[in-house]
């Protein structure tokens, strides 16, 4: 067996882009987790990963160290179990719909989630917008609820992959949350330690996502499949474009409200499609519906109200107000509404999802430093998405802000992020007015 590299050798080799074996990375991360290697070395390693990516073996070594940092759940006694994760994207609240849908189809969904990272939201911040919802349960209570109700979603329990929590804090503090290899190791460590046998992994791409291009997303999806080899899991990857925000709402309570629209049979078509796909793939992977039928069955569960009924049981079991799905007025909404008004007639050609995510983060929906409290009530509603017509003087978006100056600032940023093409006349090519 090769002699493991010292932390310094490992850093130097990684900088040069040379091969590093999984075991050396695993030892390095383990040493950092047990206060051997200092934070400065781990921060430098994350910065290299962010700048130039990691090879598969290094990513695997990281994942192994994270899994080894805590306990692993065994959910075999629960029957057909499933878990779902996303690499994250602006406005991506599909999990809020996919969890109860998959549970309505018969999957026992045991999900641990994270809070928002960088300019992406996180399921836990969204769920905390629901009055009374408890994101922290003891593991026994969590498993009991999955068995009794059909699903549970909690914040990460420190008994499982505690190393990921520590690494995520370091990544947040060093601006290195957006690297897809670090994300793959983080997601897979939690998915594998979580113990569910079926996994649905959403890999996002586009300006508002972890991967810039479709090709990168496909490579990341393959990497995640590879990381699960040997773990006896049925893994499905779902590649989702986030070139504009998913759905129309960005912000914690607003995204819960939008999920409730979908569960009641309405809501934006793109969100409905992604949520049904994730739930359907998970149901197929868990073996509770026949191959090729998952998405149709998930759509039926949306149409016949069984997804909604499950969502009510789930939230109630976790102490939340189940009326959240039928009476969105129980959700807090920020006191100041500021419209972002179009200054021309035209058609929306593109929306810079990253700029929107960053703007909503500055509005208070996300964190600018790791210990910041998020404001669940703020966010934006997009009135126009790509391909839709806007009229001069009509709102492109409505900003829900804590005060007028934050709202005005956000409105200016949103107008700069939404590119409206001015059609010069029939037959002429559209020209982009705001580049
Ligand atoms: N989800 C995770 O669990 N970790 C990341 O780093 C990003 C998304």
pLDDT at 223: 98
Task: Estimate to the nearest angstrom the gap between the alpha carbon of 191 and the chain centroid.
Answer: 13
Task: List, in sequence order, every residue forming a beta bridge with 205; answer none if it has no partner.
Answer: 211, 241
**pLDDT band of 4, cuts 50, 70, 90:** confident
Residue nearest (by alpha carbon) to ligand 1 atom 8: 87
Mean pLDDT of 34-43: 95
**What does residue 233 show for φ and ψ, rounded to 5 degrees?**
-120, 150
- Cite the DSSP H helix spans in 68-153: 94-104, 123-127, 139-149
Number of the ligand 1 atom closest to the C-alpha atom of 186: 4
Q: Whole-model pTM?
A: 0.94
pLDDT of 429 higher than 80: no
Percent of the residues in the chain that have a pLDDT greater than 90, as a whole number: 91
**Ligand 1 in contact with 190 (CB < 6 A)?**
yes
Among 124-128, 145-149, 421-425, name the one with the lowest average pLDDT. 421-425
Token readout for 413 is 């940023």
pLDDT at 194: 97
CA of 362 to the centre of ligand 1 (A): 21
Number of the ligand 1 atom closest to the C-alpha atom of 183: 6
Q: Catalogue all structural domains in the chain, each as residue range(s) with its CATH number.
A: 7-68 (1.20.970.10), 76-329 (3.40.1030.10), 336-432 (3.90.1170.30)
Residues assigned a catalytic role = 85, 164, 171, 186, 190
Number of the ligand 1 atom closest to the C-alpha atom of 187: 3
* pLDDT, tens only, 291-343: 999 999 999 999 999 999 999 999 999 999 999 999 989 999 999 999 999 99
Q: Which of 117, 210, 220 to mutate to test the pocket of ligand 1 (most atoms within 8 A of CB)?
A: 117
Q: Which of 154, 177, 357 to mutate to test the pocket of ligand 1 (most atoms within 8 A of CB)?
A: 177
Mean pLDDT of 75-81: 96
Token readout for 399 is 């900003």
Closest CA to 162 of 119, 193, 139: 193
Q: Which of 116, 154, 168, 184 to mutate to test the pocket of ligand 1 (most atoms within 8 A of CB)?
A: 168
pLDDT of 238 higher than 70: yes
Q: What is the Cα–Cα distance from 224 to 352, expressed in whole angstroms?
A: 27
**Ligand 1 in contact with 87 (CB < 6 A)?**
yes
What is the C-alpha end-to-end distance of the chain, expressed in Å?
Answer: 56
**Ligand 1 in contact with 88 (CB < 6 A)?**
yes
CA of 279 to the centre of ligand 1 (A): 19
Number of the ligand 1 atom closest to the C-alpha atom of 177: 6
């Amino acid at each position: 067996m090769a002699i493991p590299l010292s932390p310094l050798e490992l850093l130097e080799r990684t900088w040069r882009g040379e091969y590093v074996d999984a075991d050396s990375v695993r030892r390095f991360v383990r040493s950092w987790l047990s206060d051997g290697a200092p934070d400065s070395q781990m921060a430098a390693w994350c910065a290299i990963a962010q700048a130039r990516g990691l090879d598969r073996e290094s990513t695997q070594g990281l994942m192994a160290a994270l899994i080894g940092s805590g306990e692993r759940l065994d959910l075999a006694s629960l029957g057909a179990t499933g878990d779902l994760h996303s690499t994250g994207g602006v406005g991506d609240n599909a999990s809020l719909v996919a969890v109860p849908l998959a549970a309505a189809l018969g999957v026992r969904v045991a999900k641990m989630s994270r809070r928002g990272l960088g300019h992406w939201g996180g399921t836990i911040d969204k769920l905390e917008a629901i009055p009374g919802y408890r994101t922290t349960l003891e593991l026994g209570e969590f498993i009991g609820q999955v068995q009794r109700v059909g699903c549970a979603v909690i914040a990460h329990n420190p008994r499982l992959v505690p190393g990921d929590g520590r690494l995520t804090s370091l990544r947040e503090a060093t601006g290195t949350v957006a690297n897809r290899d670090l994300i793959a190791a983080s997601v897979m460590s939690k998915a594998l330690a979580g113990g569910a046998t079926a996994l649905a992994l959403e890999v996002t791409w586009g300006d508002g996502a972890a991967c810039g291009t479709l090709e990168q997303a496909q490579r990341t999806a393959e990497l995640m499949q590879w990381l699960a080899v040997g773990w006896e899991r049925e893994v499905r990857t779902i590649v989702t474009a986030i070139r504009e925000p998913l759905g129309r709402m960005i912000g914690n309570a607003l995204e819960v409200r939008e999920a409730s629209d979908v569960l009641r049979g309405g809501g934006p078509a793109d969100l409905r499609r992604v949520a049904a796909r994730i739930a359907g793939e998970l149901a197929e992977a868990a073996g509770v519906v026949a191959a090729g039928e998952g998405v149709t069955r998930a759509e039926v569960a949306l149409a016949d109200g069984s997804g909604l009924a499950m969502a009510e049981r789930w939230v109630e079991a976790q102490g939340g107000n189940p009326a959240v799905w039928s009476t969105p007025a129980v959700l807090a909404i920020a006191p100041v509404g500021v419209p972002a008004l179009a200054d021309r007639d035209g058609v929306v050609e593109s929306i810079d999802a990253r700029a929107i995510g960053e703007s909503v983060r500055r509005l208070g929906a996300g964190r600018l430093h790791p210990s910041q409290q998020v404001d669940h009530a703020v966010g934006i509603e997009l009135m126009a998405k790509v391909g839709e017509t806007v009229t001069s003087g009509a709102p492109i978006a409505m900003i829900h802000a804590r005060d007028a100056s934050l709202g005005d600032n956000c409105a200016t940023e949103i107008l700069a992020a939404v590119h409206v093409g001015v059609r010069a006349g029939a037959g002429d090519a559209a020209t982009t007015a705001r580049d």
